[in-house]
Amino acid sequence: MLDCVAQKQLNIHPVEFEKNWFYWINGLKDWCISRQIWWGHRCPAYKLTIAAQPEVEGQWIIARSRQEALDKVKAKYGDHLTEEDITL
């Protein structure tokens, strides 16, 4: 984002606001999960349990939906798993 504005690939109008743009973009910081929850944002993470594989219990799967999480689990731990084997 910074390079695009600096190299004039992205123009800020009016030009006087470029300074504000750089100020805000340079000051971005990640929000902690508790702050996301406080503001009502859903955390795209699912805690994993696989009945036949206790060593993966408690690992987190990051996905935009439950179905995407299931697909990621099957890709990582085996296509043989069914939805009944997986708890998210």
Separation of alpha carbons 4 and 11, rounded Å: 8
Q: Residue 36 has what pLDDT?
A: 65
Separation of alpha carbons 88 and 63, rounded Å: 11
Ordered per-residue pLDDT tens for the chain, 88 residues: 888 888 989 899 999 999 998 998 888 877 676 766 677 667 788 888 888 888 888 888 999 888 999 999 999 888 888 888 888 8
Q: Residue 72 has what pLDDT?
A: 92
